[in-house]
């Protein structure tokens, strides 16, 4: 069991094609989950408020994004995509779908 939160995050992020770090009470997290489900993607969601070591994961995620809110944060194919604004931007500029296909999260 990795002890360093950042290592843990990296491990969790690489275990699934699409990984979302979320909180059950966060409405923007709900929005990002709906976005992926609406595209036919089945993301792996980690609710930090339901994880016993969620607090330190949250801190590490905040540091990863240089501040701002720790959730929602999206990883695709093990690589960091970012928070909601980056996810939306990449969807609009057309780079999200190829990324999903490459990670095996989307077919056709």
Partner 1 sequence: MASTRRVLGEPAALSGISHHLPYSNPHMLHNHPPDTSFGRNQEESSFDFGELEEPIVLGGVKINKNKTKETLYSSVKASAILEMLPSWPIPRQRESSKSGEESTDSGSALIKPDSESPISTKAPSDHHKTARAAAEDDSDREHDDLQPPQPPLQSPDIQMESARTGVSQSKSAAKQTTEKTLRRLAQNREAARKSRLRKKAYVQQLESSRMRLSQLEQDIQSARSQGLFIGGRATTGNISSAGAVFDMEYSRWLDEDIGHMSELRAAVQSHLSDGDLRAIVDGYVSHYDEIFRLKGVAAKSDVFHLITGTWVTPVERCYLWMGGFRPSELIKMLIPQLDPLTEQQLLGICGLQQSSQQAEDALAQGLDQLHQSLLQTIANSSLNDSMHHMVIALGKLANLEGFVRQADNLRQQTLHQLRRILTVRQAARCFLVMGEYYGRLRALSSLWASRPRE
End-to-end CA, the chain = 37
DSSP helix/strand/coil, 44: strand
Over the window 9 to 28, marking each residue x when it contacts partner 1 by CB under 8 A and - when it does not, the resulting string is ----------------xxxx
> Which residues, 6 or more positions from 46, have their beta carbon under 8 angstroms from its beta carbon?
12, 19, 20, 21, 22, 57
Residue with Cβ nearer partner 1 (5 or 76): 76
Provide, rounded to whole angstroms, the least separation between the CB of residue 52 and partner 1. Answer: 23
Residue with Cβ nearer partner 1 (5 or 83): 83
Residue of 18, 32, 81, 105 interacting with partner 1 (CB under 8 A): 32
Measured in degrees and rounded to the nearest 5, phi and psi for residue 74 equal -115, 135
- Quick one: how far is CA 48 from the chain centroid? 12
Residue with Cβ nearer partner 1 (34 or 55): 34
Residue with Cβ nearer partner 1 (1 or 66): 66
| Binding residues vs partner 1 (CB under 8 A) | 25-32, 34-35, 38-39, 69, 84-85, 88-89, 91-94, 96
């Amino acid at each position: 069991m990795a002890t360093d939160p950042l290592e843990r995050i990296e491990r969790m992020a690489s275990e699934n094609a699409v990984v979302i770090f979320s909180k059950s009470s966060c409405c923007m997290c709900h929005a990002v989950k709906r976005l992926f489900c609406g595209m036919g993607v089945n993301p792996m969601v980690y609710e930090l408020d339901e994880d016993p070591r969620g607090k330190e994961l949250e801190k590490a995620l905040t540091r990863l994004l240089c501040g701002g809110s720790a959730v929602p944060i999206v990883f695709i194919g093990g690589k960091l995509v970012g928070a909601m604004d980056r996810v939306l931007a990449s969807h609009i500029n057309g780079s999200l779908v190829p990324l999903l296909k490459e990670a095996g999260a989307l077919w056709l």
